[in-house]
A and B are shown apart, each in its own frame.
Chain A
Amino acid sequence: MPLEDLLINKPKKKLFLLGNEAAVRGAIEAGVSIAATYPGTPSSEIGDVLHYLAKDANIYFEFSVNEKVAMEVAATAAVSGLRSFTFMKHVGLNVASDSFMTTAYNGVNGGMVILTADDPSMFSSQNEQDNRHYGRLAKIPILEPSNPQEIKDMMVYGFELSEKFKTPVIIRTSTRISHMRGIVELNEIKASNNINENIHWKKGFFKKNPKQWVPVPGNAAEMHKNLALKFENIKKINTKLNKIYSAPKATKNKNSKFKLGIVSSGSSFNYAYDTINKYDLGIDILKLGFTYPFPEKEVLNFIKDLDGVFIVEEVDPIVEKEILSIIGKNQLKISVFGKLNNVFPMIYEFNPDILLNSFKKFYKIAKKENEKVNGGKNNINDIYDEFSKEEININEYNQNTKLENTQLNNLIESLPNRHPTLCPGCPHRTSYFAVKKSIEELEISEDNVIFASDIGCYTLGISPPYQTADYLLSMGSSIGNGGGFSKATNQTVMSFIGDSTFFHSGISPLINCIHNKNKFVLTILDNRTTAMTGGQSNPGLNVDGMGDPAPEISIEKIAISLGIKFVKTINPLNLKKTIETYKEAIKYDGISVIIAKSPCILIKGLKKRKPMEIDYNKCNKCLECLKFLACPAISMKNDEIIIDSLSCKGCTTCRQMCKEKAIKIKR
């Protein structure tokens, strides 16, 4: 499907959309004027699509320097009366959280939707935090879609809700929703108006009112009161987003003498729905789409006549605790089966097998209880007690079932793994090789060098043979950590950060490190793109989020202007020079900055370089190129080193490091 299809104004037309594409369509249907993000998986494709379509969709779109700025851009657009959209991965909201918290106090005029994409099971993240907590922290409503259609529809609903109550609205997705493809039926695109000939997006007007917009302590107290009042009103809203999926009458409670129900939301709902219907378990499901403020009345209505209720949610037991509190407040006698009593796993994402196992466990215990001698006496509490007795075995979570067949199992266990690696020709490989070489030549023991890493492709340096990632916290942490290690230890400290990550949150810590007289080697691996998330622009490039020309900000000039005396920009692919520069930098007494500047080989339109080949007359099979570079283009076949000329990108690192001069340019 060409992405332009997202612009067509044909209600009822069906497209097969990725969740992230559906989010863009939702923004277009809702008439969003301003959108801002910092790329992060699983929400990255929203930005990629907007980068491509924004102008045709009458949207101003930017890749902001970080999520906090994206939040601020969206907040100001919304207070100026425009509809604004910001989106980020779950940990991005940590970065944005300071401004995010206050957007609830300030409120909005135009609608503002914040999409946060959680990553249960951590496919591409450093943690699996549950961002539903953020809605509670800030008093901001949360909508939870379960599929691409709902993402699109909740975007539109979210803007209406936001404008009605003058509050930002959170849409919380997860990897399985953002990266799910499903059928999406389109609605009408709201006509954009007021578009100036020279500017492709609608402009708003900011009406001054410091009492509303400036939370100095005196105002903030009043604002918090207003927020609490607003919140009470939101609680009263009638919504169609919470819906009961009733089991057919014939099967209702057919398998149990107890009346059971399920409360679920997001991707978990899909697993619950499929499991209940595939096996005809006869249990009603209350699907929550509007999950905060928690719909107490609807939930109470659903559960009040039940004996037991299953809570199916990812990741933390949030709905479960809400329901326990409703049960407590109303002094009900309902057993709650969730994460807290080991019915469902406490961590990681769910899947249909996990749900099936949990329900099987429930019915097994129910059957056992039923078979007890005084069968007439037993109640659902006995089942609850049985579950609660079981010890939680966290080690069993998220493991594939072994096959019954030993031959197949042995084959599976004998397979080599396939971890992601630095691409052939990646300049980071050469930088890491040079760093290791310079440490070796200076005769410093590896144990005495701490590598503070950061978030980007270069974190792949964690693997052998590079092993250049010893500590990592978050975006930009390599610099603060580098400074900290240099005060806390006498070890040599080397920090690595990418260009986009440096702009994102590396500059303030660098200022800190200079002011506090730290000593370490900072490498800014400037590969001219935001590579890990798919190659988005950043302030170091001469192009902006919509593909227009933009001022290019020089990392070197930033470093020099901060007063750093050792600032060297090198082409890491010049190996000898790079090793020499590192040796100097390590010996330097103070902060030394090396900007290793060489474009990511995935950038389109780069000049092709000739591949390398082995000169078998000279190769003595020392295997150093194979072992120390771990380049995907170099491998062993029939006892000979070979270089795959299709994957080799001609970076020449192997050629430069070969002591026998046995690698040459392929003619």
Chain B
Amino acid sequence: MINMIEDIFSKNPEFCKDSYTIYICGVGGQGIIKTSTIIGNGAINEEKNVVMSEVHGMSQRGGIVSTELKIGNYKSSLIEEFSSDMIIGFEPIEVVRNLNKANKDTKIIINTQPIIPSNISSQKNSYPDINEVIAILRENYNYVYPIDGSQLAKESGNILTLNMVLLGAATADETFPISKDNIIIAMQNNLKANFYDINAEAIEKGYEKVKSLQ
């Protein structure tokens, strides 16, 4: 007997147990791959299975960079549409461009500092107003965490710690599957020792910021 289509395609809770998917997007040079690798290493520290996909062909030339992390029983490293548990957006409009990965309960961590495309003057479309973008996101999604990551990075002592600010922000959400401590251990194993203090500071700043928004 063939069941209803809806019945057939209901999710298997056993397979989906402990599943957590994170979509990370932004622009080349923002430290996205490094951040994603640290999350992956953090997952390994907690003995979780993790797979990750990277798209970075033209990253050094102002192109888009994105990664997809899947923690759980998965073999494929691509996240299904509308099913990211979290999006970490390093650049505001890149988050908007990838909203087909989000649903209303997706945790959206979004850096509010734009990177304007270089050929903007020859384009028909202009860069949208950030406040409006955030307002629209808030209207449609339940968990939007706008963060001036670039400012917090500067306060931590180096603009290049933007990625650690956003990583710290991610750990502040209670659904995030890896503890802040394990993220910090993974960070230590993946970044240069002489930047440890400011990176740890940046993680803390991002963490505190999201806590204050909750």
Please report A residues at the B interface, Cβ cutoff 8 Å. Answer: 1, 14, 16, 18, 41-42, 123-124, 146-147, 176, 179-183, 255-257, 267, 269-271, 273-274, 277-281, 351-353, 356, 359-360, 363-364, 366-367, 370, 400-401, 403, 405, 407-408, 411-412, 414-423, 457, 460, 463-465, 534, 602, 623, 626-627, 630-636
Which one of B68-76, B162-170, B174-182, B203-211 is at the interface?
B68-76
Cβ-neighbour of A16 out of B50, B64, B74, B116 (below 8 A)? B50
CA distance A506 to B63 in the complex (A): 28
Pairwise interchain contact B121-A280, C-beta atoms closer than 8 A: no
Pairwise interchain contact A403-B99, C-beta atoms closer than 8 A: yes
Assess A418 versus B62: contact at CB under 8 Å? Given A176-B53, A351-B78, A626-B121. yes
Chain B residues within an 8 Å CB radius of A414? 125, 128
Q: Give 29 pairs: A residue, B residue, CB < 8 Å, sorted on A.
A: A18-B54, A42-B57, A147-B75, A179-B56, A180-B54, A181-B37, A181-B52, A182-B50, A255-B2, A255-B3, A271-B78, A274-B74, A278-B15, A352-B78, A353-B81, A367-B5, A408-B136, A412-B97, A415-B96, A415-B97, A416-B123, A418-B62, A418-B94, A419-B63, A463-B119, A631-B118, A634-B118, A635-B121, A636-B120
CA distance A18 to B120 in the complex (A): 34
Pairwise interchain contact A408-B58, C-beta atoms closer than 8 A: no
Chain B residues within an 8 Å CB radius of A632? 62, 118
CA distance A530 to B84 in the complex (A): 37
Cβ-neighbour of B52 out of A180, A407, A635 (below 8 A)? A180
Cβ-neighbour of A14 out of B44, B78, B133, B190 (below 8 A)? B44
B40 interface residue per 8 A CB criterion = yes
B194 interface residue per 8 A CB criterion = no
Pairwise interchain contact A356-B78, C-beta atoms closer than 8 A: no
Pairwise interchain contact A411-B96, C-beta atoms closer than 8 A: yes
CA distance A630 to B120 in the complex (A): 9
**Nearest-Cβ distance from residue A13 to partner chain B, whole angstroms:** 11
B60 interface residue per 8 A CB criterion = yes
**Nearest-Cβ distance from residue A360 to partner chain B, whole angstroms:** 6
Pairwise interchain contact B118-A421, C-beta atoms closer than 8 A: yes
Pairwise interchain contact A423-B8, C-beta atoms closer than 8 A: no
Chain A residues within an 8 Å CB radius of B120? 416, 635-636
CA distance A634 to B121 in the complex (A): 10
Chain B residues within an 8 Å CB radius of A421? 61-62, 118-119
Within 8 A of A (CB), among B21-45: 27, 36-37, 40-41, 44
CA distance A465 to B122 in the complex (A): 8
Pairwise interchain contact B75-A146, C-beta atoms closer than 8 A: yes
Q: A1-B189, A416-B127, A623-B121 are in contact. List 14 more A-B contacts (CB 8 A).
A: A124-B58, A181-B36, A278-B12, A352-B78, A352-B79, A367-B4, A400-B100, A416-B123, A418-B117, A421-B119, A423-B60, A460-B61, A626-B121, A633-B118
Cβ-neighbour of B5 out of A364, A403, A419 (below 8 A)? A364
Pairwise interchain contact A363-B122, C-beta atoms closer than 8 A: no
**Nearest-Cβ distance from residue B74 to partner chain A, whole angstroms:** 6
**Nearest-Cβ distance from residue B26 to partner chain A, whole angstroms:** 10
Chain A residues within an 8 Å CB radius of B100? 400-401, 403
Chain A residues within an 8 Å CB radius of B130? none
CA distance A370 to B118 in the complex (A): 57
Assess A401 versus B81: contact at CB under 8 Å? Given A1-B37, A123-B55, A278-B15. yes
Chain A residues within an 8 Å CB radius of B37? 1, 16, 181
Pairwise interchain contact B93-A416, C-beta atoms closer than 8 A: yes
**Beta-carbon nearest neighbor of A245 in chain B:** B75
Pairwise interchain contact B62-A423, C-beta atoms closer than 8 A: yes
Chain A residues within an 8 Å CB radius of B139? 407
Chain B residues within an 8 Å CB radius of A416? 93, 117, 120, 123, 125-127
B77 interface residue per 8 A CB criterion = yes
CA distance A626 to B122 in the complex (A): 9
**Beta-carbon nearest neighbor of A148 in chain B:** B51
- With contacts defined as CB atoms under 8 Å apart, how many contacts are there between chain A and chain B in the complex? 194
CA distance A416 to B37 in the complex (A): 29
Q: Which 10 A-B pairs have the closest CB atoms?
A: A632-B118, A270-B76, A420-B58, A420-B63, A124-B57, A280-B12, A420-B61, A181-B52, A270-B75, A416-B125
Pairwise interchain contact B12-A627, C-beta atoms closer than 8 A: no
Over the window 8-25 of chain B, the binary record of Cβ atoms lying under 8 Å from chain A Cβ atoms (1 yes, 0 no) is 111110011000000000
Pairwise interchain contact A179-B55, C-beta atoms closer than 8 A: yes
Cβ-neighbour of A180 out of B10, B44, B77, B133 (below 8 A)? B77
Chain B residues within an 8 Å CB radius of A630? 118-119, 121-122
B158 interface residue per 8 A CB criterion = no
**Beta-carbon nearest neighbor of B14 in chain A:** A280
Pairwise interchain contact B41-A279, C-beta atoms closer than 8 A: no
**Nearest-Cβ distance from residue B15 to partner chain A, whole angstroms:** 5
Pairwise interchain contact B2-A256, C-beta atoms closer than 8 A: yes
**Nearest-Cβ distance from residue B206 to partner chain A, whole angstroms:** 22
Pairwise interchain contact B62-A420, C-beta atoms closer than 8 A: yes
Pairwise interchain contact B57-A279, C-beta atoms closer than 8 A: no
B140 interface residue per 8 A CB criterion = yes
Assess A412 versus B63: contact at CB under 8 Å? Given A18-B54, A176-B77, A278-B15. no
Within 8 A of A (CB), among B68-112: 73-82, 93-94, 96-97, 99-100
Chain B residues within an 8 Å CB radius of A463? 119
CA distance A364 to B4 in the complex (A): 9
**Nearest-Cβ distance from residue B2 to partner chain A, whole angstroms:** 5
Chain B residues within an 8 Å CB radius of A1? 37, 41, 189-190
Chain B residues within an 8 Å CB radius of A405? 140
Chain B residues within an 8 Å CB radius of A422? 61
**Beta-carbon nearest neighbor of B40 in chain A:** A16
**Beta-carbon nearest neighbor of B139 in chain A:** A407
Chain A residues within an 8 Å CB radius of B52? 16, 180-182
CA distance A150 to B1 in the complex (A): 39
Chain B residues within an 8 Å CB radius of A181? 36-37, 40, 51-54, 77
Cβ-neighbour of B73 out of A277, A411, A631 (below 8 A)? A277
Chain A residues within an 8 Å CB radius of B55? 123, 179
Chain B residues within an 8 Å CB radius of A352? 76, 78-80
Pairwise interchain contact B27-A418, C-beta atoms closer than 8 A: yes
**Nearest-Cβ distance from residue B138 to partner chain A, whole angstroms:** 12
Chain B residues within an 8 Å CB radius of A400? 81, 100
Chain A residues within an 8 Å CB radius of B94? 418
CA distance A106 to B16 in the complex (A): 51
Which of B36, B57, B100, B125 has its CB near the most chain A CB atoms (within 10 A)?
A: B57
Assess A415 versus B76: contact at CB under 8 Å? Given A423-B61, A627-B121. no
Pairwise interchain contact B80-A353, C-beta atoms closer than 8 A: yes
CA distance A417 to B123 in the complex (A): 8
Cβ-neighbour of B128 out of A123, A411, A457 (below 8 A)? A411
Chain B residues within an 8 Å CB radius of A401? 81-82, 100
Pairwise interchain contact A183-B122, C-beta atoms closer than 8 A: no
Within 8 A of A (CB), among B179-209: 189-190
Chain A residues within an 8 Å CB radius of B16? 278
CA distance A132 to B102 in the complex (A): 36
Cβ-neighbour of B76 out of A16, A183, A273, A364 (below 8 A)? A273
Pairwise interchain contact B78-A279, C-beta atoms closer than 8 A: no
